[in-house]
Amino acid sequence: MTQLIAYADRFGGSIEGLHRLLTGPLAGLFDGVHVLPYFTPYDGADAGFDPVDHTAVDPRLGGWDDVRALAGDLAVMTDVIVNHVSADSAEFRDVRERGDASPHARMFLTLSSVFPDGATEEQLSAIFRPRPGLPFTPYDLGGRRRLVWTTFTSQQVDLDLGSDEGQAYLDRVLTTLADAGVRMIRLDAAGYAIKTPGTSCFMTEETFAFIDRLAARARELGMTVLVEIHASHEMQQRIAARVDLVYDFALPPLLLHGLTTGDAEPLRRWLGMRPTNCVTVLDTHDGIGVMDVRGLLDDDQVHALVEAIHENTHGESRKATGWAASNVDVYQINATYWSAAGGDDAYLLARAIQLFLPGLPQVYYVGLLAGADDMELLAATGVGRDINRHRYTDAEIAEALERPVVRRQLELLRLRAQHPAFGGEFTLAGEGPRLELGWRSGESYVRLEADLAARTYRISEASPGR
């Protein structure tokens, strides 16, 4: 199975438009599609990851019938934003007006929800943060000034998932998606969802227990679960043992390290130990992770990698990363993967390696079209991640599909989707800058010989009776 990742408004214009692309010019390339948040509103403070109503399709993109139609042709993955909702949600607006008298008062976290006796400086400083400062925003709740827990932005208010109200909210979301034919869910920001006093409030034992419960409920409803966590590779391995799917977020930076240095050893070492139930990516709607290769690259190598990306993008990524733009996660480098890799040859080699690895390959819509950094959109919004979130017109898509680099990438996708050997056994070999990735099923085989120093690859294959 291979999947596309796309915003419906930025690739097709609507859910129906995305459907037409996948069954038209992209027919036969993908078995599934991860449609990035299409809830009301899809264009809020965090590009749909701050839903006002997580159970409603934004009418500008379509309706649940459009989701069902898409799910009739492809496996649909949808985000379940478990940590927070928009401050403009009906429930939080009611709490702001009525305070503790609101029936939704227990649905949201405040400082005193987690620290009823107050928090010490040591306890507050231990909280893991994806952005600077403390995770609280002052709000008037029923005329009383309170510190509301806001992990990401002041417009994303955190849910109390230990309360009956919080649990009932998430269950409504899950049942709504299952009723619409969604077969896979991605738990967004799950690592931050449970706040336990005296801990980092990130991927604690209580967090694991929450993920176990939510995944079990999703499976009852016929959905498989992908957990999105940016953390060390050891943490990814722990998560992989407890869920259906986990991202291989170490792969993109390790590939870039190999391409910029010719050193394939860290990548080869990771490929020998990585979980088998991986979703593989080069890029996503977020940035390229840095923390994900801790322990796989040393500090000097990570620094050199970051600088190499900035050089390959001619400084564009520097303008979109860290404190340079409105980023909710300063531990990621914002750039398109094509720009970060330094052009067509390196990019195609990276894509070939991704598609030859075990797991579920996902291809981001900008990456599918080998998109360059969108500096115009970055300048217009000031949001670092928008450098890799271009809004494609139909004409731009048609033009991009004719580019040689895109056409070669589509050939790689067709090979992965259609060759029977990929359903067989995988082998890994190579030394120095070279990797050899092979698959065999009966008399069918397919093999990739890659040289990261030369930025070249060769594919050989046989498929009797194909």
Q: Which residues line the annotated binding site for substrate?
A: 46, 84, 186-188, 228, 285-286, 329-332, 385
- Residues 15 and 70: their CA atoms lie apart, in Å, by 8
Catalytic residue list contains 228: yes
Beta-bridge partners for 40 = 53
Non-local (6+) Cβ contacts of 300 within 8 A are none
Task: Specify the pairing of strand 3-6 against strand 360-364.
Answer: parallel
Q: Which of 9, 50, 58, 188 is catalytic?
A: 188
CB distance 89 to 53 below 8 Å: yes
d(CA 60, CA 41): 9
Q: Hunting for tokens 């801990």 — which residue is that?
A: 199
Is 188 among the catalytic positions? yes
Determine the Cα–Cα distance for residues 123 and 108; give it in Å rounded to an integer: 20
Residue 103: asked if its preceding bond is cis (omega within 30°), the reply is no
Q: Which entry of 50, 228, 244, 292 is annotated as an active-site residue?
A: 228
Q: Which residues are annotated as a binding site?
A: 46, 84, 186-188, 228, 285-286, 329-332, 385
For residues 4 and 119, give the distance between their C-alpha atoms in angstroms, rounded to a whole number. Answer: 44
User: What b/e readout covers 287-297, taking b as 16+ CB neighbours within 10 angstroms?
Assistant: bbbbbbbbebb
Overall size of the chain counted in residues: 466
Residue 86's closest CA among 176, 152, 15?
152
Helices (DSSP H) in 275-434: which residue ranges?
299-312, 316-320, 337-341, 344-356, 365-368, 375-381, 394-400, 404-418
Q: Which of 212, 184, 16, 197 is nearest to 119 (CA)?
A: 197
Indicate which residues carry an active-site annotation: 188, 228
